[in-house]
Amino acid sequence: MTTVDTPRILLTGFEPFDQDSVNPSWEVARALHGETIAGAQVHAVQLPCVFGAAMEVLDEALASLQPSLVISLGLAGGRSEITPERVAINIDDARIPDNAGHQPVDQSVVRDAPAAYFSTLPIKAMVRHLRDAGIPASVSNTAGTFVCNHVFYALMHRLSRRAGPGVRGGFIHIPALPQQAARQPGMASMALDTQIQGIRTAIHTAMTVQQDLQEHAGQLH
């Protein structure tokens, strides 16, 4: 049972989109709902895959839970690893419509706001700990320009302005599930149990590592 003094972790995942019947980000989040990790309790919240509406649900969750850590999860079809994201950019540029039919082109996530925000999660330590656990992982330098980046940017914008000191946040992309990949031959996938363990490890790292590692995680292109 959660007490008043128990720190709270907000873990968000998305509803299915693009004609899929499942989204691993929500499957992982709801599997971890209620768990206590490093002394804090996980609260899972599902976000709509809709520009604008996802921000509204995120705002409500931030206000009601007052979490000490926020991690948003999203599906990155085609990736074979769990990938903590480094940076969110202030642009919506949708290749496909969202679940409400919106397809913004070159619009700001937040008007008159900074061009980008960096994650405040220990992303390199997360990758190290995931790999040590036998789970493929790497730092990602692009969260795309769809609803995932939209939420990532909105989260970091809000944390930079509204939340109390010490609140950390960021975004992690996860691979497709095997049943999704089976419908698209050649697509990379990762078993749900592995993804759950991976995000559990990432959360534990975020709760216990204050200073991120200084090691190479860049890309040439």
- Supply the residues annotated as catalytic: 85, 148, 173
Q: What's the order of all strands across the beta sheet hosting 83-84?
A: 36-37, 40-47, 8-14, 69-75, 168-174, 83-84
- In terms of Cα–Cα distance, which of 81, 74, 68, 15 is closest to 37? 68
Element at 156 (helix H, strand E): helix 147-161
CB atoms within 10 A of CB 112: 6
Residue 176: half-sphere exposure toward Cβ, Cα within 13 Å = 19
